[in-house]
Structure 1
């Protein structure tokens, strides 16, 4: 880089720091005029486009940055991050396969690449990168926790537990490590982590997510040993901490989903019947903790189906289709712009980014629970794609949400009133999708799935135009990685232990029960 170029970059950085994107953009355009393949300039320009809400322009810059990758793992990692942000997953994978990443001996590079592989659902590769990072010096509680999570995803639960036992000794304490450890098994009065959890709580930063994680762990272990009064106190403290940390606007959510329900999406036509040849999706939707992972494992046991995990591709491409950088999908702008969406193009782009996940099979499962919000939009893009909605008892599913630490994924779950309202929105919008597109969505009752797994599986397979195959309901037969809170449950036979888990707290949950009955 020559002296003039150095000065240009100094000015670009100064303009950006002063929040003056127009002169920064002009300088970046001059840099790209001299070198159209300047990776750094494309990345910074893409960031400016994102900040201004121009997702399509940002996509063009991310793809341009990937055209001629430097032999520098750090720079490649930044390109990958930009590609993933705009939904260019196939190109991101190509960049992740660059030899300088696999050969790297830098723990920082390897851990960043492991995180990116995890975001793509490639958990075996992610774990291999983590273990390589360990061989080249990565260590400490954060490293042990991250490795434990990946070991759990890959079904190596004993090794994960050993890592977690080591990393809970950290100071300050890792609340999520205690919680992950508490979930590994049912605790007993003789064997539990309560003394260590309570000691860690005295050292946790007040109001932090670490404190919330410790309270969730304390709740879990107290409940396991039957101390329900104390367990409820810990659970309410944990949820209060998380709800205060997150911005959630129930009124806004209700308004967005109410507006979405009023949109006339029209009817799918033959013109969008098949967007692209090759493997086709099966969508599994429902509220979190409704049983979607159990159904996903049953479907994934079929010889024609590959489970692809919880994919964010449809939401990312809906953002692209409406050229709007949304932080939640859908939002007001997306709903307002649905009339201009080219459904065939949206379907084609989705398949271009996801078909690799089928890995030789004709069907793949996209199991993102929150896709219930956009189920009608999915049907417009894929008129023949099966959409299966798992329905669980309202009290069971809401309490299961309330007792889970989802990070910032589902802010409504940390407040009982918000939970009840969210469940009502779910029921209303699913009713709207059924009304608008009769026969497009199959509702599966989770309780019946547990009681009659083969009978329900036959119905689901028929809906998905698949022949029934014996043994598909044997969850232990499915050895694929799983990265949800059900990771331990779905490695066991189907069971009914999850019914009525709220009943020890029936008195405290009276308001929730009343709200759900409205």
Structure 2
């Protein structure tokens, strides 16, 4: 950079630090007028636009940067990361094809690029990049943990277990690793990690997510051993830690559902007459831990269906069309804009960014459970799409949420009252979608799916416009990657063991049952 360019660079950064975003924008725009190929400045300008809520302007800067990638793996990672953030999936994938990615010996950058692959659902390439980083000598607790997760996603469970053990030797307070290790097997009296977990609980920083992770791990292993009173106490401690860390505003979800219902009457949700070429998306929605992964495995066993995993593409394209950046799937400000959006453009952009995932097949599965919040908008934008709603018994699904460590993804799940409130609002919104667009969503009761799988699978495939194939219900033979909390369980043959699991804790869960009521 010239002295003048360096001055503008420093000026723009200082404006960001001081919160003067319009001034920062002006400084970086001036810098880029004289040096248009300065990728770091493009990225900072993109971040300034996003901080102002301007998704489209931020995306344009990130795409411009992608045309000027240097032979530097760290920069390629930063550009790809920004592109993923703004929903420019195709441009992010193109970054991964840069020649420098194939030849770099920058192990930390390879590990970071593997995370981009993971975010795009490219689990085999993610693991391959991690293996390259490992061969170059890269070895940290974080890296071991995430490589173990990728091994698990790719079905290599024995290697995942060994890698998780290695992570815990390097990172003595890595609670998530201990929890993942506990989930890989059913623990036995002669083979468990209780002593290890308790030793770590004595040293882990109090109130951290690692602290919660060890308590969740302790709960899981004690439950496996039938020590239910101790298990429940550990589960309560784990959730109390996360609830204290994240908090939860109980007014948020009722207000959001009120807004969605008000903005999307039947007349608004009437099927659009536009039709879009390309593969047909099958959306799977519902509460987390409701059986959505099992449903995805059944569908992906069909010869005409590709599994794309949990995609954030529809919410990201929704925000692009609204030109409103945000971190939630949908929020009050976005709801207020719904009547002004171009839904044909939303559908076009969604397919443009996702159809590669179909791998030449006629259908692909987009399984993001929380998309139930935008089911009506999916219908408006993609009239040809199929929407499947996975429905599980209230206490089963709520207890399954309460026993899971979601990080900061679902803050409602760490408190029984907040959980009940969220569940009631979820049911209220799903009832609205069913009333406002009858026949557009197929409800799939989890008990029927696991107890009468053949009949339910036929009904599902018929709704999607697909012929029945017997291989669909043989989920134990499905070798595709699975990137969810259920990645171990869904590799087993279909079973009904999880029905009514909450009853082991019926007495302490009575307050939750009272709050849910007769839904």
TM-score by length of 2: 0.97
1:114-513 paired onto structure 2 within 5 Å: 114-264=114-264, 266-269=268-271, 271-272=273-274, 274-275=275-276, 277-513=277-513
- Cα distance between partner residues in 1 of 2:376 and 2:102: 41
- Cα distance between partner residues in 2 of 1:310 and 1:102: 27
| Structure 1 residue 31 corresponds to structure 2 residue 31 | yes
**How many residues of Structure 1 are paired with residues of Structure 2 in the alignment?**
516
Equivalent residues of 2:174, 2:210 under 8 A apart = yes
Deviations for 1:194-217, whole angstroms, at most 9, x for unmatched residues?
000000001100000000000000
How far 1:65 moved relative to its partner? 1.3
Equivalent residues of 1:219, 1:234 under 8 A apart = yes
- Cα distance between partner residues in 2 of 1:306 and 1:333: 34
Equivalent residues of 1:188, 1:225 under 8 A apart = yes
Equivalent residues of 2:272, 2:381 under 8 A apart = no
- Cα distance between partner residues in 2 of 1:15 and 1:418: 40
Deviations for 1:242-273, whole angstroms, at most 9, x for unmatched residues?
1111142121121011110121351445532x
Equivalent residues of 1:268, 1:383 under 8 A apart = no
- Cα distance between partner residues in 2 of 1:22 and 1:259: 31
- Larger deviation, residues 431-440 vs 9-18: 9-18
Equivalent residues of 1:66, 1:95 under 8 A apart = yes
- Cα distance between partner residues in 2 of 1:394 and 1:22: 48
Equivalent residues of 2:292, 2:367 under 8 A apart = yes
Deviations for 1:460-497, whole angstroms, at most 9, x for unmatched residues?
00000001112210001211000111111111100111
- Larger deviation, residues 506-515 vs 323-332: 323-332
The structure-2 alpha-carbon separation of the partners of 1:270 and 1:319, relative to structure 1 and needing over 3 Å to count, comes to closer
- Cα distance between partner residues in 1 of 2:76 and 2:138: 20
Equivalent residues of 2:118, 2:126 under 8 A apart = yes
How far 1:33 moved relative to its partner? 1.5
How far 1:394 moved relative to its partner? 0.5
Please name the residue that 1:55 is paired with. Answer: 55
Equivalent residues of 2:176, 2:214 under 8 A apart = yes
Equivalent residues of 1:101, 1:109 under 8 A apart = no
Deviations for 1:119-169, whole angstroms, at most 9, x for unmatched residues?
001010000000100011111322221111100000000011111122222
Equivalent residues of 1:412, 1:422 under 8 A apart = yes
Q: Could you list the runs of 5+ residues in structure 1 that have no partner in the other structure? A: none
- Cα distance between partner residues in 1 of 2:260 and 2:34: 46
How far 1:323 moved relative to its partner? 1.4
Deviations for 1:435-455, whole angstroms, at most 9, x for unmatched residues?
110000000011011011010
1:13-32 paired onto structure 2 within 5 Å: 13-32=13-32
Equivalent residues of 1:213, 1:405 under 8 A apart = yes
How far 1:53 moved relative to its partner? 0.8
Describe the SS at the equivalent of 2:53.
Answer: coil
How far 1:7 moved relative to its partner? 2.1
- Cα distance between partner residues in 1 of 2:171 and 2:326: 37
Deviations for 1:378-412, whole angstroms, at most 9, x for unmatched residues?
11111221100011111110000000011111111
The structure-2 alpha-carbon separation of the partners of 1:108 and 1:511, relative to structure 1 and needing over 3 Å to count, comes to same
How far 1:319 moved relative to its partner? 1.0
Describe the SS at the equivalent of 2:476.
Answer: helix
TM-score by length of 1: 0.98
- Cα distance between partner residues in 2 of 1:156 and 1:337: 45
The structure-2 alpha-carbon separation of the partners of 1:486 and 1:5, relative to structure 1 and needing over 3 Å to count, comes to same
Describe the SS at the equivalent of 1:306.
Answer: strand
- Cα distance between partner residues in 1 of 2:25 and 2:517: 55
Deviations for 1:274-307, whole angstroms, at most 9, x for unmatched residues?
23x1212001111111001111000000000001
Deviations for 1:161-194, whole angstroms, at most 9, x for unmatched residues?
1111222223532101110000011101111100
- Larger deviation, residues 329-338 vs 456-465: 329-338
Describe the SS at the equivalent of 2:214.
Answer: helix
Deviations for 1:90-147, whole angstroms, at most 9, x for unmatched residues?
1000011111012111111100100110000101000000010001111132222111
The structure-2 alpha-carbon separation of the partners of 1:246 and 1:350, relative to structure 1 and needing over 3 Å to count, comes to same
- Larger deviation, residues 79-88 vs 432-441: 79-88
- Cα distance between partner residues in 2 of 1:171 and 1:318: 39
Describe the SS at the equivalent of 2:325.
Answer: coil
Q: Could you list the runs of 5+ residues in structure 2 that have no partner in the other structure? A: none
| Structure 1 residue 93 corresponds to structure 2 residue 96 | no
- Larger deviation, residues 167-176 vs 54-63: 167-176
Describe the SS at the equivalent of 2:56.
Answer: helix
- Cα distance between partner residues in 2 of 1:41 and 1:204: 40
1:40-79 paired onto structure 2 within 5 Å: 40-79=40-79
RMSD of aligned Cα (Å): 1.2
